[in-house]
């Protein structure tokens, strides 16, 4: 039972995104980059010229004040207190593009052999534990059934994200074709 809990904790950590700020020097200039750890990988998210801007955005993304990041938390808190609020930056990525990106990430996870093996092991472990669990142990039976359902729910959620990404890609393609079709008559009139 404890191995099963350990596996579920590892899966939860794998799916729970976390953010961190890293101080980097690009072309001789210091900048602060926000990275998000998703699906076990560290992915670049945003670049800020000031620590205060990066700190505010980090708080927006995570909903909490950062702790234990590579840039000391005290330095981030000090920058938040001293700097004026930055102007909001409009998002350059559409919601359809975000859905497509999430779908692609889900596809990568579903195609990952280690992830599939972990799901298989979790299912096998839950089934074996259910067979060993006494019939009179109602709470144990219920917890093991929940563990089995949770494993299936994780896979179904990822498959749903993948399908939503496919739909978003189709909508992006349709919108692109419509925009091209609108441009064609204009070109004909000019020529």
Phi, psi of 107 (to 5 degrees): -60, -45
- Spans of all domains in the chain: 13-82, 94-187
Instruction: Provide the 3-class DSSP secondary structure of residue 40.
Output: coil
The predicted pLDDT at position 163 comes to: 92
The predicted pLDDT at position 186 comes to: 52
The predicted pLDDT at position 183 comes to: 64
Q: Mind listing the pLDDT tens digit for each residue in 100-123?
A: 888 888 888 889 888 889 889 888
Cα(41)–Cα(39) distance, rounded to whole angstroms?
6
The predicted pLDDT at position 69 comes to: 43
Cβ proximity of 20 and 66 under 8 Å: yes
Cβ proximity of 123 and 151 under 8 Å: yes
Cα(169)–Cα(175) distance, rounded to whole angstroms?
10
User: In order along the chain (191 residues), what is the average pLDDT of each group of 10 residues?
Assistant: 67 69 81 78 80 80 59 68 59 72 88 89 88 88 87 89 89 81 59 52
Cα(46)–Cα(56) distance, rounded to whole angstroms?
12
């Amino acid at each position: 039972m404890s191995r099963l809990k350990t596996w579920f904790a590892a899966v939860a950590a794998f799916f729970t995104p976390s953010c961190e700020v890293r101080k980097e020097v690009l072309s001789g200039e210091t900048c602060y980059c926000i990275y998000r750890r998703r699906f076990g990988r560290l992915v670049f998210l945003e670049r800020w010229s000031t620590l205060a801007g990066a700190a505010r955005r980090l708080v927006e993304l995570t909903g909490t004040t950062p702790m234990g990041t590579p840039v000391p938390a005290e330095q981030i808190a000090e920058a938040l207190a001293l700097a004026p609020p930055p102007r909001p930056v409009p998002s350059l990525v559409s919601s359809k593009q975000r859905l497509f990106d999430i779908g692609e990430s889900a596809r990568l996870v579903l195609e990952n052999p280690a992830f599939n093996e972990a799901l298989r092991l979790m299912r096998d472990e839950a089934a074996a534990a259910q067979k060993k669990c006494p019939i009179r142990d109602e709470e144990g039976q219920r917890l093991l059934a929940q563990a089995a359902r949770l494993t299936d729910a994780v896979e179904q959620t990822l498959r749903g994200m993948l399908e939503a990404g496919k739909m978003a890609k189709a909508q992006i393609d349709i919108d692109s074709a419509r925009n091209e079709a609108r441009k064609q008559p204009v070109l004909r009139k000019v020529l």
